[in-house]
Amino acid sequence: MADYETRTRRFTRAEYERLIDLGVFQPGEAIELIGGELMVAEPQGAPHYTAIRKTAKALEAAFGPGWEVRTEGPIGLDDESEPEPDVAVVPGAPEDYARAHPSRAALTVEVAESSLALDRVRKGSLYARAGLPDYWVLNLVDRVLEVYRGPVPDSAAPFGWRYARSEVLDASAGVTPLAAPGSSIPVWQLLP
């Protein structure tokens, strides 16, 4: 009974894409579909946007040719989720995704200020459920990078999965993406 209020109408990804095509949302409304729920993204402050650009540039250099670094682009994650991670690295080139959004990313990054709890718990669980192997939360509050890896089932998590390993790296540390094992990126290069 206490849960009753939490029940809102859920949307499938197909419905969500039709809503966008029909122009139901206000232009520029930053919405993403997370587990059937329409979530409003964090407003873009200057540090947030700067962090996105710096992270995208650093990842482009680290991954090199054959990879596409997307910023705030949709991922067709599952039937009820179409998140728009701040940065995602996917195989191939832009034209490979002309007909459909990518469904998986080799590396997914969220830049978090006020959205820290959402990014760690709900999105972390959603991305773990989809089997995304490498998930980073760039924490602007504490100026650290949180690295999440190893998706495992956990019935207590919002979407039934979580990451088994997490590591917190400060600005002076270096990080190596799982899919670009020869590279090392200083965390300060990502921070605004």
Q: Look up tokens 């409003």; give the residue.
A: 40
User: Does 156 sit near other proteins (CB under 8 A)?
Assistant: no
**Separation CA 61–CA 122 (nearest Å):** 30
**Separation CA 126–CA 39 (nearest Å):** 13
Which element (helix H / strand E) includes 16? helix 13-21
| Residue with smaller CB distance to other proteins, 58 or 140 | 140
| Residue with smaller CB distance to other proteins, 75 or 180 | 75
Residue 23 CB, shortest distance to other proteins, in Å, is 9
Task: Please give the DSSP secondary-structure letter assigned to residue 44.
Answer: -
Binding piece for other proteins, criterion CB under 8 A, among 3-11, 58-66, 146-154, 167-175 = 3-11
Residue 36 CB, shortest distance to other proteins, in Å, is 11
Residue 146 CB, shortest distance to other proteins, in Å, is 19
Residue list 14-73, contact with other proteins (CB under 8 A): 15, 18-19, 22, 24-25, 29, 31, 37-40
Residues 6 or more apart whose Cβ sits within 8 Å of residue 2: none
**Separation CA 69–CA 161 (nearest Å):** 26
**Separation CA 171–CA 188 (nearest Å):** 5
| Interface with other proteins (CB under 8 A), residue from 116, 118, 169, 179 | 118
* Contact set with other proteins (CB under 8 A): 1-2, 4-9, 15, 18-19, 22, 24-25, 29, 31, 37-40, 115, 118
